[in-house]
A = this chain, B = another copy of it.
Amino acid sequence: MIEIEVKARAKADTEDRIRAIGATMLGTESHVDLYFNSSTRDFRKTDEALRIRIKGDGARLTYKGPKLDCDTKSRLERTVKIDNPSEMEKILVNLGFLPTVIVRKLRTKYSLGDVILALDDVEGLGLFLEVEAKSESDWLKQKEKVLSILSSLGLGESIRNSYLELLEREQRKNLDT
């Protein structure tokens, strides 16, 4: 499954504009995301991600492949639901993966057709909007759609960095000062 995704810093009027374009609010989720790196290849260099997400309806293990283009965050994404995130973390450590950063956020989800809009309040980073579609094929068409939605919300500038990368950058900044 290809996840087509764009992200931008949200503005004060973003929530109003999401409602104005006719998106339906789906609900709010609290996410705790534990990211891992590999001891044998640096995921920051290979542009991969391995994550355990804990949220209200259970936990999931997700692998994300390298990004597929230069202007969005579109990439291969594979997810399984797991019954025990703590045991999964221990298995990953036994297999040579290292926990790196925890990202905590409150996500408010909206749907607009087959597109999901996620307004994320990320601890330590602030408010962002992710616009996301999934595709088994023809992902370029879906890409046009998510870019157009982002633009119609007045959020032209797409950020390709993950919250993980943005948090790591913040941590480095704090270490330098």
**Chain A residues within 8 Å of B, Cβ to Cβ:** 38, 40-41, 48, 50, 61, 63, 65, 76, 78-84, 87-88, 90-91, 94-97
Distance A38 CA – B95 CA, assembled complex (angstroms): 9
Residue on B nearest A58 in the bound complex, by CB: B83
Take A61-B91, A63-B91, A91-B63 as given contacts and tell me if A40 and B96 are in contact as well, using a CB distance cutoff of 8 Å: yes
Measured between C-beta atoms, what is the minimum distance from A115 to chain B in Å? 23
> What separation, in Å, do the CA atoms of A97 and B91 have in the docked complex?
14
Contact B83 A81 (CB under 8 A): yes
Residue of B nearest to A41 (CB): B96
Q: Which of A78, A82, A87 has the most CB of B within 10 A?
A: A78
Contacts of A91 in B (CB 8 A): 61, 63, 78, 80
State the Cβ distance, A91 to closest chain B Cβ, in Å: 4
Chain B residue contacts of A41, Cβ below 8 A: 96
Residues of B within 8 A of A97 (CB): 95
Given contacts A41-B96, A65-B94, A82-B82, 14 further A-B contacts (CB under 8 A): A38-B96, A40-B40, A48-B94, A61-B82, A61-B91, A63-B91, A63-B94, A79-B87, A80-B83, A80-B87, A80-B91, A81-B83, A81-B84, A95-B97
| A83: min CB distance to chain B, Å | 4
Residues of B within 8 A of A87 (CB): 78-80
CA gap between A72 and B38 in the complex, in Å: 32
For the complex, what is the distance from the CA of A81 to the CA of B80, rounded to whole Å?
Answer: 10
